[in-house]
Structure 1
Amino acid sequence: MKQPLKHKIILTGAAMMAAFFLGVNANAARMDMVDVSNNNGYMSTAEYVSMRNEFGVKAVTVKISEGSTYKDPYAVSNIANVQAAGLYINGYHFARYATKAQAIAEADFAGQTAKAAGLPIGAVLATDVESQEANNQSKATNDRNNVAFMQEIQKFGYRADIYTSGSWANNKMTIKGKTGWIASYPYVVSGKNWYSTNHAWQWSSTAKFRISYGGFDVSQLNSNYYTAGQKSRVKPTNKGAVKANNRKANKHIYKPATSAKWVKESKTYTLKTAVKLRAGVSTSSSAIAILPAGTTVKTDKAIIKGGYRWVRQPRFNGYGYLATGPASNTLEYVKSGSTHTYYTVKYGDSWWAIAQRNGLNMTTLASQNGKTIYTIIYPGQRLVVR
């Protein structure tokens, strides 16, 4: 999740130790750790070996559970295959708790699920705090809940940590130095040492691996916390490929539009009609979500491009973009009559398979069809994919 150091400097004490771990003069964020879940589908040992040998991946953090009932169906195979590939293994729980009691209950559920899935004692079992439930709480409440979860999870023999966004860290919740796994996706990756006082920095959610399908969340480690407190024994077999692949991954990170100029615009809008929140400044960009009429949207920048006036909405990880109409306090599309692209569900299809085929994630695909990823789909059913 972080950037390597850019310039030669003289360091002493703790700073020297950090520099030794990161590598002074590094000029590309590293793919030290990958996190995977049911969104990535089944991952083979061969895929993890490729990540290790060709990309320098040292650790994998696997989704274990969510809330108080959901168990990731791929946790067992992911844990086994990561270990077979010789990589460090950790887990995470997607938090839904809003009270201390709920946090303790979710920690008990996550700990039991992790043990049953084969997550070894001593691994990290992080709480992933980015839900609407947490967004609705005060900083003090989130801090109380997070502490309760982490104290409870340690009773199962796991080490605790918090994953959240850079915009939420020390805003929605306290993230102390020498703790935390922080997500922040910059326009330009190289050239800055991001979140160097935290354990890890997740710097991309779209990284590509040679023999694996789709985009992956990748992080750079700032400490050895996610490698079990030991010096890594994982050695890539192709150092040249690691260097080239890491540089390549850095190059495709989000870049600002060059055909027009962004201007600052800090406003709160109320949607007059339902509007697609898109991943880029184009009507052909994939939809992150469909925001219903009445939704309020806070923006920080605006731009004129492609016949539309666009505004940018800061989100948990990165930004969303909406096309606006006349210069009023209401968002709407300038052009009407847009058409959808549909996909007809076939036998054996799943939310994950259809989403991957169309460059979406499962949650986006489901939400733009008015459903959730737990809704059953049937052969012959038509789904909106664009």
Structure 2
Amino acid sequence: MKLKNKLLLTGAATMAVLFLGLNANAARMDMVDVSNNNGYMSTAEYVSMRNEFGVKAVTVKISEGGTYKDPYAASNIKNVQAAGMYINGYHFARYATKAQAIAEADFAGGTAKAAGLPVGAVLATDVESQEANNQSKATNDRNNAAFMKEIQKFGYRADIYTSGSWANTKMTIKGRTGWIAAYPYVVSGKNWYSNNHAWQWSSTAKFRISYGGFDVSQLNSNYYTAGQKSTVKLTNKGAVKHNNRKANKHAYKKSASSKWIKEAKTYTLKTAVKLRAGASTSSNVITILPAGTTVKTDHAIIQGGYRWVRQPRFNGYGYLATGPSSNTLEYVKSGATHTYYTVKSGDSWWAIAQRNGLNMTTLASQNGKTIYTTIYPGQRLVVR
């Protein structure tokens, strides 16, 4: 991607030495991303993240697809700014064509403006959906380029967020661009994706006065902080160092190893599940299996805090987690059959749920989605 907009920064100078001084042997909690899943976040929570954990920037969800607006975007933007931190946004992409990408960029840009995202902030496209998984690399590159070009018309800087297994396989992520997610078991000691703007290294980070787990990223350039004002002043450097080390230590705990056992079973997926090349959450993703997929397995193992099963494939094996080792049937169930409904033009979650005697939240959940997820004609949904 050639960066022609004057708001976009280029060159080696953007690779910020600023971020490399603190606790160099541990991944840093430079940036947090939040969405409606985190609920309402107060200014006090952001101040705690800043002072006690060294968080410099927050990237908030703005929108998804062509209709969903995150209800907490405006309050998140306002409260992050009140905490004196850098603010950015992201749009969860559902586009499959260039026209859809442009339309979603217009929707995201307008929604961001209305929510108060300042000009000069990054508005990244989050590309990890089933729609993108179904496209070729060339098509995803074309669509992503169209989205990013369009989003710059609103005064925002563009970037792509995706998983490490998709980077340069499902889409092109050039050096000195990109925000890449990869969650290794051992975090300290290696700066992953150091040639990209940011590396998201955990989705389970804990903060002292905030509930739940958070996505945290290390910034490897100043792209997500440039062009904006910040009044960040760390007031507890000792706490920052301690909490970063603690986060690295507990990002992933390996469970005691065990042996593979024979297990010939047929599972039906309750939600979309990533099929991986190995029995590890850091293994490459082969594909994303949609809800309702039938999977036949031959072996199982408890490993890394999950119960894994092995699926024989025509060119080897695929591996999927049936759930945490303490709750091994959270994501799949054995021996189930389903009734499907094919989405038609004009359908909605409410209409489909009513037609099939379901609560629309239940309908969305059993398909691995939320009621805010955009559905398209031709999609198959589990209704029984």
Structure 2 residue aligned with 1:246? 244
CA–CA distance in structure 1, aligned partners of residues 209 and 22 of structure 2: 30
Q: Is the contact between residue 267 and residue 295 of structure 2 (CA under 8 Å) also seen in structure 1?
A: no
TM-fit CA distance, 1:26: 1.1
User: Which residue does the alignment assign to 2:266?
Assistant: 272
TM-score when scaled to structure 2? Answer: 0.71
CA deviation string 1:198-222 (max 9, x = no partner): 0000000000000001000000000
Task: Spell out the pairing of 1:164-179 with structure 2 (5 A cutoff).
Answer: 164-179=162-177
Distance in structure 1 (CA, Å) of the matches to 2:160 and 2:201: 16
Give distance in 2, aligned partners of 1:213 and 1:127.
26
Which secondary structure state, in structure 2, belongs to the residue aligned with residue 215 of structure 1? strand
Which residues of structure 1 form unaligned runs of 5+?
Answer: 1-12, 264-268, 282-288, 314-318, 324-331, 338-363, 376-386
Matching of residue 189 in structure 1 with residue 183 in structure 2: no
Conserved 8 A contact 1:76-1:117: yes
Contact 1:224 1:231 in 2 (8 A): no
Change (3 A) 1:61 1:304: closer
Shift of 1:309: 7.7
CA deviation profile, 1:191-245 (whole Å, cap 9, x unmatched)? 1110000000000000000000100000000000000257975221000000011
Tell me how far apart the structure 2 counterparts of residues 68 and 333 of structure 1 sit (CA, whole Å). 33
Partner Cα distance (1:297, 1:135) in 2: 22
Query: What amino acid sits opposite 1:184 in the alignment?
Result: A
What per-residue deviation string (whole Å, max 9, x for no partner) do you get for residues 286-309 of structure 1?
A: xxx99766435899x95367xx98
> Is the contact between residue 205 and residue 213 of structure 2 (CA under 8 Å) also seen in structure 1?
yes
- Paired letter, 2:268: A
Q: Is the 8 A contact 2:85 2:230 kept in 1?
A: no
1:38 aligns with 2:32: no
| Contact 2:140/2:170 (<8 A) preserved | yes
CA contact (8 A) 2:63 2:111 kept: yes
Structure 2 Cα separation of the partners of residues 116 and 25 of structure 1: 38
The alignment covers a number of residue pairs equal to: 309
1:260 is displaced (CA, Å) by 1.4
Tell me how far 1:27 sits from its aligned partner: 1.4
Tell me the distance in 2 between the aligned counterparts of 1:30 and 1:261: 35
Q: How much is the aligned-residue C-alpha RMSD, in angstroms?
A: 3.8
**Residues 242 and 309 of structure 1, relative CA distance in 2, 3 Å threshold:** closer
How far 1:45 moved relative to its partner? 0.4
Give, in whole Å, the separation in 2 of the partners of 1:190 and 1:64.
31
Letter in 1 for 2:258: A
1:80-159 map, 5 Å: 80-159=78-157
**Match in the other structure for 1:75:** 73
Letter in 2 for 1:131: S
CA contact (8 A) 2:202 2:215 kept: yes
Change over 3 Å in CA distance of 1:243–1:103 after alignment to 2: same
Match of 1:374 in 2: 371
Secondary structure of the corresponding residue to residue 80 of structure 2? helix
Alignment partner of 1:27 out of 25, 28, 35: 25
